[in-house]
Amino acid sequence: MDRRTFLKIGGAFFVLSSSCDFKDKTPQNKLLSYGITLDSNRKIGHIARKAILKPVVKQLKTDMLIVGGGIAGLAAACSLKGRAFTLCEMNETLGGTSGAVNINGTLFGQGAHYDLSYPEYYGKEALELLKKLNVIEWSASNKRWDFVDKQYLINPNKEEQCYAGGSFLPSVLPPGELKTNMLDLLRPYIGKTKLPTTEVSPELHHLDKISFYDYLKKYLPITDEFIASIDYQMLDDYGGTSMEVSALAGIHYYTSRPYFSQPEPELFSPPEGNYYFIRKMEKTLTAQSIKTGHLITGIENKGDHWVTQAWDVKAEKKIEFKSNNIIYAGQKHLLKYLYPAAHEQFEDTNYAPWVVVNIELTESLGNNHYWQNDYLSANSQFLGFVDSGAQKNANGNVLTAYYCYPGIYHHMVEEIENNPRQIVQETIGYLSKYYQTEIESKVKHAYVKLLGHAMPVPTPGFITKPKPTEKSTLTFAGVDTGRLPLMLDALDSGIQAAKLSI
């Protein structure tokens, strides 16, 4: 989650969020008196099947239909240069994996939660959009793009702490010769592993043919302990281990910014996480053009136009959109149901499911807050937590825990859906160990967000997959179009999809 500190100290069908307060059969006692709000894909298969059988009650026309209101869909909408569009997002709120939950009037991130300042050699178009949104400004002294809202920068001394079996380590990667040698090995790539990833020089593309594990094994006497730490970091940002992600993705993780030199990149993390960027984009768009709670259930190519069916979840009505163009910025595995003709090009994508647990506390746990709290344990799915106490204007005591599951474990997410209390209890257990005190009695409420098909894993071949260059009436955006699962790549994918639209 935080790439800076690794160096610093040591050297089903659809996934529609329907939020519900969960009532389980656990006997309530003093320690278990908190409630749980579950945000998941419960009942969605049923909703989608019901929607397909219903008649169309309204037909609407639009020049551009955008499917999906995550970073990519909104970036596409912001790049249409005044063209008429309608954006349909199946959830009641925008954001996708950069979403947030409202806890007593303050938004807290429930997915992506940070970004870092951008070097001058990053892709111009994404930076221009962020500049236009007044998110970044050029810093002549730092020679990079810094964030405008300084209050959301994390204090460099409070960025990270790593818990491992009862003690605290300075960083996830164990300090020593192996770490030093690995960083020396990767240093020459700084300045070449750019964002968006389409800017990565073709001379590095051969690194996308092998796994990061094989790359490291070739050059270094790696140990199991060292690889376990690398895997933690790969899972944290890419949803896959070093054996699963490509060498290009792995090297990109450690070298995509000048982490080795001063000044270090700024770490930007508002309490609402990357929903901040969603809000910035939404503010520039016409509210009537954005339809949340609208699930796309089918797309038809009519030759000179497209007909798309959408289910209005609240009104329980089916609408049909006639459009000249479509930008599809939803997860691509759904295409096999919505528009099978376009699914083949995405069918090899491996998505990792994630679960986010926001724990709201009745009181703050001390004054010594670290933003990112890594947690090395026997449970490799648990990837630590973010403490809102280290974020400005957080207005509340919220600890946000992250779990990432292998793609083949989609059933785990279903199990959590049926019994969210188990993962909340598990999280409270980890937190109690971390703080060396029982915290269950201080838990006010827990919010569990299930993100199935959340993160496309950058397996070998994924990032260098050829991207379309021809203009078309159907274009694709999103990090699952052969991008790294990072804010700037998502943003750029939306910009490029808009540019390629006819």
Ligand X SMILES: Cc1cc2nc3c(=O)[nH]c(=O)nc-3n(C[C@H](O)[C@H](O)[C@H](O)COP(=O)(O)OP(=O)(O)OC[C@H]3O[C@@H](n4cnc5c(N)ncnc54)[C@H](O)[C@@H]3O)c2cc1C
Q: Which stretch binds ligand X (CB under 6 A): 18-26, 111-119, 135-143, 427-435?
A: 111-119
Binding flag, residue 267, ligand X (CB under 6 A): no
Instruction: Report the distance separating Cα 472 and Cα 476, nearest Å.
Output: 10
Tell the burial category of 147 from Cβ atoms under 10 Å away from its Cβ (0-12, 13-18, 19+).
Answer: buried
CA distance 50 to 40: 18
Which residue carries 């990519």 as its tokens? 72
> Which of 77, 78, 90, 136 forms a contact with ligand X (CB under 6 A)?
90
440 vs 438: CA distance, rounded Å: 6
Cα 369 to Cα 103, 157, 366, 388, 484: the distances in Å are 20, 10, 7, 8, 30
Selected from 384, 407, 460, 478, the binder of ligand X by CB under 6 A is: 478
Q: Which of 69, 406, 460, 482 binds ligand X (CB under 6 A)?
A: 69
- Residue range at the interface with ligand X (CB under 6 A); choices 90-98, 181-189, 225-233, 389-397: 90-98
Region label for 163, one of left (φ > 0), alpha (ψ between -120 and 50) or beta (otherwise): beta
Q: What CA–CA distance (Å, rounded) separates 200 from 82? A: 31
- Should residue 455 be labelled a site residue for ligand X when binding is judged by CB under 6 A? yes
- Beta-carbon neighbour count of residue 173 at 10 Å? 24
Using the rule CB under 6 A, is 172 a contact of ligand X?
no
* Segment contacting ligand X by CB under 6 A, of 96-104, 172-180, 191-199, 284-292: 96-104
Tell me which of 89, 159, 231, 360 binds ligand X, using CB under 6 A.
89
The SS3 call for residue 435 is helix
Question: Residue 119, interface with ligand X (CB under 6 A)?
Answer: no
Site mask, ligand X, residues 291-330, x = CB under 6 A?
A: ----xx--------------------------------xx
Among 113, 144, 442, 445, binds ligand X (CB under 6 A): 113
CA 139 vs CA 116, 126, 136, 480: distances in Å: 14, 17, 9, 32
The pair of structure tokens assigned to 160 is 């990270």
Among residues 12 and 31, whose Cβ is nearest to ligand X? 12
Stretch that binds ligand X, among 86-94, 253-261, 368-376, 458-466 (CB under 6 A): 86-94
Interface with ligand X, residue 252, by CB under 6 A: no
**The binder of ligand X chosen from 36, 80, 290, 334 (CB under 6 A):** 334
Smallest CA-to-CA distance from 15 within 99, 133, 129 is with 99
275 binds ligand X (CB under 6 A): no
- Asked if 413 interacts with ligand X (CB under 6 A), we say no
Q: Which of 164, 33, 109 is nearest to 399 (CA)?
A: 109
In this structure, the dihedral spanned by the alpha carbons of residues 193, 198, 204 and 210, taken in order and rounded to 10 degrees, is 100
Q: Left if phi > 0, otherwise alpha if psi is -120 to 50, otherwise beta: which for 453?
A: left
Residue 2 CB, nearest approach to ligand X (Å)? 9
Element (H, E) at 251: helix 247-255
Stretch that binds ligand X, among 35-43, 179-187, 409-417, 486-494 (CB under 6 A): 486-494
Closest CA to 300 of 261, 245, 338, 253: 338
Among 65, 72, 133, 439, binds ligand X (CB under 6 A): 72
For residue 328 the two structure tokens come to: 């599809």
What is the rounded distance in angstroms from the CA atom of residue 151 to the CA atom of residue 490?
Answer: 24
Tell me which of 490, 495, 497, 498 binds ligand X, using CB under 6 A: 490
232 touches ligand X by CB under 6 A: no
Q: What is the DSSP letter of 116?
A: E
Residue from 173, 327, 454, 474 that binds ligand X (CB under 6 A)? 454
Query: What is the three-class DSSP state of 128?
Result: helix
Q: Min. distance of Cβ 296 from ligand X in angstroms? A: 4
Output the smallest distance, CB 181 to ligand X, in A. Answer: 28
Nearest to 113 by CA among 419, 465, 402, 418: 402
Nearest distance from C-beta of residue 437 to ligand X, angstroms: 27
Stretch that binds ligand X, among 77-85, 110-118, 254-262, 359-367 (CB under 6 A): 110-118
Binding-site member from 51, 86, 96, 230 for ligand X (CB under 6 A) = 96
By CB under 6 A, name the one of 354, 430, 434, 462 that touches ligand X.
Answer: 354
Binding residues for ligand X (CB under 6 A): 67-73, 88-91, 96-98, 111-115, 274, 295-296, 329-331, 334, 354, 356, 402, 451, 454-455, 478-479, 485-487, 490
